[in-house]
């Protein structure tokens, strides 16, 4: 590991940019401001001193910004090394993952809520698609203030979803098909209905009081200015205990105190317990938020306004984050006893961190093979165009995705590996973001699939992507179910409630149930679904897509089969062609003399294909013309010489 020198006011912008976190922060600032990252390549800018920038920018940033920056940078003394050589094969680098949102996947008992038996009943669909590993959003006991992301017992199943026996059956059924299965570990916070929290409330000065972040005070003075992700402050006043309780999300999601070794031990024990049941790993919810800066200082207002949430600089990459992750890997994720790389038996279960706010270099610090922390991260800089947020109503330009993918690959060494995803349960559907015209639904769905499944990295498909799911036509406030949308609606004061403040970005777009067939409740339930369907198109249910040789579903199957057949498409190097050509995205994947070229038109207009001297043979294509690429057209070729 190389050491970064201390950064102070005499350092230059170039020094800051050469620091891993410094680079990520500058890139993030430029992205939020909608500016090009090329700005920092300018030698004059690179030579500017931090103190000069402080003076010049003060009117814009206000007080304290540079101090905030320097504190953050000087917490980090490591730089990720860029290793060379062959990539170590690991099952999770070669796998295609599929995220199930259990509540909305399939309901087997007619209560309108998806359940474990529903998933078991639909494993054929996933096997047919070619999925290697399933990830289930939370299935644990929960009062569901945040749909299971508020867990009241890590060793019990949510009543609506089934029983532990059902989980065992699901694990066995996945493994019998050669698939792995991972769960969602939500341990930045618990539910306020968890026994630990109930105990903490009963006796805040006892051992469980130390499990959470409780502060003395009076009910009218907040301990600090940190904001909650679900509107309002990040604190709740507990009248019974006369304490403030930190909760970055909903009032019913108190943050755990990871600085307490007993909490870290509990979490490792939960992981080991599930590993013994045969689980293959976890996706770790907001795992980069677990280490909060000592003393919980005030958040900088400028950073807060830029990042939408005040206080984030004090916990998105906290002082003990790396140490806590390495410890959890060692104490929880390493399997004891006899182990071999196989479903249910991997020596180390896979550890995938959800890491909002983390950039490319910090992502590498969290995942580099030789650091033994996380295996993969989900970061989000590619999900919105520069200067935009999820709540903005705009057409996403895929050239940003292309630029991000090229930029990120250019920074990786052989010990780094990345995830590839465009959707999850927290984001609107990508097809709708890019181009909502129904004319392009199929070609665009296929273009997004090709970029994801033939790119270099591990693809995570979110349920419904394979049938070209789109955003929902929500019309009324009562159509929404998500706490984030509901709170946002009621916090937008001034005038009547206006659903436009949540319509573009609501997480509910991705949470309406799977459309299995064209019956009344689309084969999801025989009862009343917990969230309504707001889509009436034909041709885009699983049953219809399966029958159609030109469907998005069929194309997913073909791409996954191709990936399975050719190591070059999984572990191979990537080389981008014509990186600066607008609307045209093309890349080679190469390994051991085998080579593929994929071309994608990122726009709804027809574009001319560049000329390649290599001899190409079509493997898979969505168009016919040899010379031009139609709207969102994909062509996959084998490179013969």
Binding residues for ligand TEU, per CB under 6 A? 146, 149, 186, 229, 249, 285-286, 354, 356, 425-426, 484
Minimum distance from residue 391 beta carbon to ligand TEU (Å): 9
Is the CB of 421 or the CB of 632 nearer to ligand TEU?
421
Is the CB of 479 or the CB of 484 nearer to ligand TEU?
484
Beta bridge partners of 100: 136
At 428, phi and psi to the nearest 5? Answer: -65, 170
Is the CB of 508 or the CB of 599 nearer to ligand TEU?
508
Q: How far apart are the first and last CA of the chain?
A: 40
H helices of 245-397, in order, are: 261-276, 301-307, 321-328, 360-367
Minimum distance from residue 136 beta carbon to ligand TEU (Å): 13
Beta bridge partners of 419: 458
Minimum distance from residue 601 beta carbon to ligand TEU (Å): 30
Residue 9 CB neighbours (<10 A): 14
Minimum distance from residue 219 beta carbon to ligand TEU (Å): 25
Structural contact between residues 494 and 455, judged by C-beta atoms closer than 8 angstroms: no
Is the CB of 70 or the CB of 250 nearer to ligand TEU?
250
Minimum distance from residue 497 beta carbon to ligand TEU (Å): 20
- Cα–Cα distances (Å) from 74 to 20, 28, 71, 279, in that order, read 11, 18, 5, 38
Buried b (16+ CB within 10 A) or exposed e, 357-395: bbbbbbbbbbbbbebbbbbbbbbbbbbbbbebebeeeee
User: Dihedral of CA 576/578/584/586: which sign?
Assistant: negative
405, two tokens: 């993918």
At 614, phi and psi to the nearest 5? Answer: -65, 155
Is the CB of 118 or the CB of 357 nearer to ligand TEU?
357
- Cα–Cα distances (Å) from 216 to 175, 190, 236, in that order, read 50, 21, 12
Is the CB of 130 or the CB of 357 nearer to ligand TEU?
357
Is the CB of 25 or the CB of 287 nearer to ligand TEU?
287
Pairing of strands 180-185, 235-238: unpaired
Is the CB of 229 or the CB of 632 nearer to ligand TEU?
229
Minimum distance from residue 70 beta carbon to ligand TEU (Å): 26
Buried b (16+ CB within 10 A) or exposed e, 242-275: ebbbbbbbbbbbbbbbbbbeebbebbbebbbebb
Residue 78 CB neighbours (<10 A): 15
Is the CB of 4 or the CB of 379 nearer to ligand TEU?
379
Largest CA distance in the chain: 75
Catalytic residues: 285, 354
Is the CB of 391 or the CB of 533 nearer to ligand TEU?
391
Nearest to 131 by CA among 453, 426, 442: 453
Minimum distance from residue 309 beta carbon to ligand TEU (Å): 8
Is the CB of 356 or the CB of 386 nearer to ligand TEU?
356
Which SS3 state, helix, strand or coil, does residue 463 take? coil
Minimum distance from residue 234 beta carbon to ligand TEU (Å): 12
| Cα 497 to the center of its chain, rounded Å | 30
Residue 607 CB neighbours (<10 A): 18
| Cα 612 to the center of its chain, rounded Å | 36
34, two tokens: 């909608």
Minimum distance from residue 286 beta carbon to ligand TEU (Å): 5
Minimum distance from residue 356 beta carbon to ligand TEU (Å): 4
Q: CA triplet 552, 558, 559: central angle to 5 degrees?
A: 90
User: Dihedral of CA 110/113/119/125: which sign?
Assistant: positive
- Cα–Cα distances (Å) from 619 to 24, 29, 434, 571, 633, in that order, read 38, 41, 26, 19, 14
Q: Which residues are CB-contacts of 439 (< 8 A; sequence separation ≥ 6)?
A: none
User: Dihedral of CA 523/526/532/537: which sign?
Assistant: positive
Structural contact between residues 427 and 384, judged by C-beta atoms closer than 8 angstroms: no
The Cα–Cα gap between 545 and 549 comes to 8
Minimum distance from residue 187 beta carbon to ligand TEU (Å): 10
Q: CA triplet 11, 13, 16: central angle to 5 degrees?
A: 75
């Amino acid at each position: 590991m190389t050491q970064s020198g201390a950064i102070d006011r005499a350092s230059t912008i170039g020094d800051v940019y050469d620091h891993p976190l410094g680079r990520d922060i500058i890139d993030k600032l430029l992205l939020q401001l909608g500016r090009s990252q090329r700005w920092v390549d300018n030698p004059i800018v690179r030579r500017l001193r931090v103190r000069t920038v402080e003076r010049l920018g003060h009117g814009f940033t206000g007080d304290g910004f540079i101090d905030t920056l320097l504190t953050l940078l000087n917490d980090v003394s490591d730089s990720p090394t860029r290793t060379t050589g062959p990539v170590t094969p690991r099952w999770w680098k070669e796998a295609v993952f599929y995220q199930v949102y259990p509540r909305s996947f399939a309901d087997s008992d007619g209560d309108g809520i998806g359940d474990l038996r529903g998933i078991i009943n639909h494993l054929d669909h996933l096997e047919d698609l070619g999925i290697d590993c399933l990830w289930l959003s939370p299935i644990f006991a929960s009062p569901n203030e945040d749909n299971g992301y508020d867990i009241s017992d890590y060793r019990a199943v949510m009543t609506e979803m089934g029983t532990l026996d059902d989980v065992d059956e699901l694990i066995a059924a996945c493994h019998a098909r050669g698939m792995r299965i991972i769960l969602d570990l939500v341990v930045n916070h618990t539910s306020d209905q968890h026994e630990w929290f109930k105990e903490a409330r009963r006796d805040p000065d006892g051992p469980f009081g130390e499990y959470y972040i409780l502060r003395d005070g009076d009910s009218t003075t907040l301990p600090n200015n940190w904001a909650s992700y679900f509107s309002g402050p990040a604190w709740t006043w507990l009248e019974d205990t006369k304490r403030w309780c930190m909760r970055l999300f909903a009032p019913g999601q108190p943050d755990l105190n990871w600085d307490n070794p007993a909490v870290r031990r509990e979490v490792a024990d939960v992981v080991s317990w599930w590993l013994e049941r045969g689980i293959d790993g976890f996706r770790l919810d907001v795992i980069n938020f677990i280490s909060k800066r000592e003393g919980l200082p005030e958040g900088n207002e400028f950073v807060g306004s830029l990042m939408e949430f005040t206080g984030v600089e004090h916990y998105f990459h906290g002082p003990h984050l790396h140490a806590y992750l390495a410890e959890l890997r060692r104490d929880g994720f390493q399997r004891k006893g006899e182990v071999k790389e196989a479903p249910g038996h991997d020596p180390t279960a896979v550890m995938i961190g959800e890491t909002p706010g983390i950039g490319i270099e910090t992502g590498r610090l969290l995942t580099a093979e030789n650091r033994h922390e996380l295996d993969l991260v989900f970061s989000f800089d590619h999900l919105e165009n520069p200067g935009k947020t999820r709540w903005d109503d705009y057409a996403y330009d895929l050239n940003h995705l292309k630029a991000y993918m090229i930029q990120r690959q250019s920074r990786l060494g052989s010990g780094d590996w990345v995830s590839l995803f465009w959707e999850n349960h927290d984001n609107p559907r990508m097809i709708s973001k890019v181009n909502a015209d129904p004319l392009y639904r199929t070609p665009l769905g296929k273009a997004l699939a090709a970029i994801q499944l033939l790119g270099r990295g591990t693809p995570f498909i979110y349920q419904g992507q394979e049938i070209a799911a789109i955003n929902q036509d929500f019309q009324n406030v009562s159509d929404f179910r998500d706490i984030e949308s509901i709170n946002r609606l009621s916090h937008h004061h001034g005038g009547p409630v206006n659903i436009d403040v949540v319509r573009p970005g609501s997480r509910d777009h991705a949470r309406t149930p799977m459309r299995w067939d064209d019956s009344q409740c689309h084969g999801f339930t025989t009862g009343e679904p917990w969230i309504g369907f707001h889509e009436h198109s034909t041709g885009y249910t699983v049953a219809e897509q399966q029958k159609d040789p030109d469907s998005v579903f069929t194309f997913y199957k073909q791409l996954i089969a191709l990936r399975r057949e050719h190591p070059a498409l999984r572990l191979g190097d990537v080389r981008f062609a014509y990186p600066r050509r607008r609307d045209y995205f093309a890349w080679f994947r190469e390994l051991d003399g085998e080579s593929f070229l994929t071309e994608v038109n990122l726009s709804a207009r027809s574009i001319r294909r560049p000329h390649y001297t290599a001899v190409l043979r079509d493997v898979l294509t969505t168009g016919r013309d040899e010379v031009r690429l139609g709207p969102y057209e994909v062509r996959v070729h084998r490179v013969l010489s």
